[in-house]
Amino acid sequence: MKERDRVVASGLVVLMLILWLGFFIHRSPRFAGSLWGGMLGVSGATLMLVPLAYLLVKRVAPLKRWVTDRVSMRTLLAWHIYAGILGPILVLLHTGHKFHSPLGIALTAMTLVVVLSGFTGRYLLSQCSQSIREKRELLTRLESVYRETAGELAAHPEQTSVLYHLAGFWARLAAGFFVTSSGTGALPAPVRALRLSDAMADLEYAIEIHESFNRWFARWRRLHIVISFILYGLLALHVWAAIHFGLRWFA
């Protein structure tokens, strides 16, 4: 998710939450059954089907090949995100903040959960993936410097005796206060090698932690898909109930 798209999506999510909180200051019991309320409901429900279409395109290989020849997956993902937020916003407007039936309450609550889980998972996943890329690039640079330092130590083996005195934690910590740099501004090769090894170890540990987060977010996405299908089931029941009991705004 690009920075601009993230800002826009964040603003829409905040707007959705503000509209939901309007329940405490505004209620219109008949708005959902009015012409404008019905139009908002149909429009919102239609937009909420766009993420389902994206899910099918992403997982059905023949359909994906046919669609991606015309529209890129990045564009489809943008449609998925915006439709997945704009649809619930229109649905919340459609309710008129009338939450009396158990089905309506469950549908509204599940809509909020799906949007928040999808947005949070997508945002955190992109941040985590970007952090891993940056750390891997930094690790590659440090490894290059470390190889140069190792080559310098190999050319001057007498310097390696210093490493035995800096093997402990406290010795390394004290080296930062007592070891001075050379006239060129560089630290002695043994101290530089130890600091580089410590930095690389820290980066490798951080990458491992972030990759474990990525695996957790993969399970998060599966949970998001499950609750999305629960939402679609509740939406289908709501549409059936509206048709069964009569659509006042078609009269």
Q: Are residues 90 and 22 in the same domain?
A: yes
Q: 143 and 241 in one domain?
A: no
Residue 210 lies in a domain: no
Are residue 170 and residue 64 in the same domain, yes or no? Answer: no
Total domain count for the chain? 2
Residue 4, class by beta-carbon neighbours within 10 Å (0-12 exposed, 13-18 middle, 19+ buried)? exposed
pLDDT at position 233 is 92
Select from 87, 91, 13, 2 the least CA-distant residue to 51. Answer: 87
Assess whether 114 and 150 both reside in one domain: no
Give a yes or no: residue 179 inside a domain. yes
Question: Which residue range(s) make up the domain with 178?
Answer: 135-205
Q: Residue 235 carries which side chain, given as an amino acid letter?
A: L
Output the CA–CA distances (angstroms, integers) from residue 203 to 12, 128, 171, 175, 194, in the order listed. Answer: 36, 14, 22, 21, 14
Q: What is the pLDDT of residue 183?
A: 42
Go through the chain and tell me how many residues it has: 251
The single-letter DSSP state of residue 71 is: S
pLDDT tens, position by position, for the chain (251 residues)? 566 777 888 888 888 888 888 777 777 778 877 888 888 988 999 999 888 888 888 888 888 889 888 888 888 888 888 998 999 999 888 888 777 778 888 888 898 889 888 888 777 777 788 888 899 999 999 888 888 888 877 777 665 555 555 555 544 555 544 444 444 445 667 667 777 887 888 889 988 888 888 788 778 878 888 898 999 999 998 888 877 766 554 44
Which residues have C-beta within 8 Å of that of residue 52, sequence separation ≥ 6? 228, 232
In-domain check, residue 13: yes
Shared-domain flag, residues 244 and 156: no
The pLDDT of residue 90 = 92
DSSP state for residue 98 in the 8-state scheme: -
Q: Is residue 215 part of a domain?
A: no
Whether residues 81 and 27 share a domain: the answer is yes
Q: Quick one: pLDDT at residue 181?
A: 43
The verdict on 71 and 161 lying in the same domain is no
Alpha carbons within 13 A on the beta-carbon side of 39: 2
Residues 17, 80: Cα–Cα separation, whole Å: 19
Do 33 and 103 lie in a common domain?
yes
Q: Is there a domain that residue 114 lies in?
A: yes
Q: How much is the pLDDT for 197?
A: 81
Lookup: tokens for 132: 């891993």
Q: Is the residue at 212 inside a domain?
A: no
| DSSP percent split of the chain into helix, strand, coil, nearest 5 | 85, 0, 15
| Token reading at 152 | 């310098």
Residues 107 and 159 in one domain: no
- Residue 241 domain flag: yes
Is 94 within the bounds of a domain? Answer: yes
**Co-location of 153 and 181 in the same domain:** yes
Identify the pLDDT of residue 29.
76
145 and 229 in a single domain? The answer is no
Regarding whether 160 and 180 lie in a shared domain, the answer is yes
